[in-house]
Amino acid sequence: MGALSGKVVLVTGGGNGIGRDCALIAAQEGAKVVVNDLGGGLAGGDEGSAGPAEQVAQEIRAAGGEAVSNSDSVTDLDAVYGMVEQAKKEFGGLHAVINPAGILRDVMFHKMTEAEWDSVIAVHMRGSFNVARATIELFREQNDGAYMFFTSTSGLLGNIGQANYGAAKMGIAGLSRIIAMEGARNNVRSNCLAPVAWTRMTQSVPVKDEAAAARRAVMAEKIRADQPARLSVALVTPAAAHISGQVFGASGETITLYSQP
């Protein structure tokens, strides 16, 4: 039996990168998985395509697991409630949410447009609110639920050109912490991960010189998406029921636990 046997997990952004590996690993651990991915490119376009999510769901089923796909947006609360209902209809319930869905709109703050701010806040901050709000009552009622949110060192430490992304990611860390505090009496736990991995999103960040390109080549080889994904899945298993309200970092084979202020 796997560490998630008998559990149902919703993975957002599950068509690519860390989300894809989270979905695959959760299924390998025995979970029934709802694979959500809007299907759009990093800069927009092709939204609502079932392609990426369905491809991952098919891969899970081909390996003997159980999975369904969903191509709705985490920015739409009603759509997220629909994901929950899909999990109930297909698999009889929902026990965990892993939420790496994200986009980038990097630009220096003095040049940032309102649209560039709003789009990142909508996916990351609003999206995190939506997946939590659509599931928190269910988790409290069943006295069982786990959230895996995704923050970033861009929020925890700061990064040039990412005021929108960093602000959203710092907000997610606070949201996760408070959900953990409020959910404790009902066995609802919540943790955050600040991952470093070679994904479609990190690949989109431009390099400035040959040294940066060389560092990127090393990153692509040694810092893979499956590494933070394994930690993410581990933290929503029953074996991690005593871990909540924490912020972890994951880069390659290195795992970091951030101290609380």
DSSP per-residue string spanning 152-169: -HHHHT--TT-HHHHHHH
- Longest alpha-carbon distance in the chain: 55
pLDDT at 47: 53
Residue 216 lies in a domain: no
pLDDT digits (tens, 9 = 90+) for 115-158: 999 999 999 999 999 999 999 999 999 999 999 999 999 989 99
SS3 content of the chain, % helix, strand, coil (to 5): 50, 15, 35
Residue 61 lies in a domain: yes
Residue 207 lies in a domain: no
Residue 84 lies in a domain: yes
Please indicate, yes or no, whether the overall pTM of this predicted structure exceeds 0.75: yes
Average pLDDT score over residue span 76-94 = 99
Residue 2 lies in a domain: no
Q: Which residue has the tokens 């040039």?
A: 160
Classify residue 93 as left (phi > 0), alpha (psi -120 to 50) or beta: left
Residue 150 belongs to domain spanning = 8-196+228-257
pLDDT band of 82, cuts 50, 70, 90: very high
- In the set 81, 147, 165, 258, the catalytic residue is 165
CATH code for the domain of 137? 3.40.50.720
Number of domains in the chain: 1
Mean pLDDT, rounded, of the chain = 92
pLDDT digits (tens, 9 = 90+) for 161-184: 999 999 999 999 999 999 999 999
Average pLDDT score over residue span 59-72 = 98
Which residue, among 74, 192, 185, 94, has the nearest Cα to 145 in the 3D structure?
Answer: 94
Q: How many CB atoms lie under 10 A from the CB of residue 63?
A: 11
pLDDT band of 50, cuts 50, 70, 90: low
Which residue, among 198, 195, 98, has the nearest Cα to 152 in the 3D structure?
Answer: 195
Residue 154 lies in a domain: yes
More confident residue, 28 or 206: 28
pLDDT digits (tens, 9 = 90+) for 194-229: 998 655 555 555 666 677 667 767 766 777 889 999
State yes or no: is 165 an active-site residue.
Answer: yes
Q: How many CB atoms lie under 10 A from the CB of residue 72?
A: 22
φ, ψ of residue 59 in degrees (nearest 5):
-65, -40
Q: Give the containing element (helix H, strand E) for 52.
A: helix 51-62
DSSP assignment of 202-259: HHTSPP-SHHHHHHHHHHHHHS-THHHHHHHHHTTSGGGTT--S-EEEEETTEEEEPP
Residue 12 lies in a domain: yes
pLDDT at 108: 97
Q: Give the containing element (helix H, strand E) for 70.
A: strand 66-70
Can you read off the two tokens belonging to residue 150? 């995704």
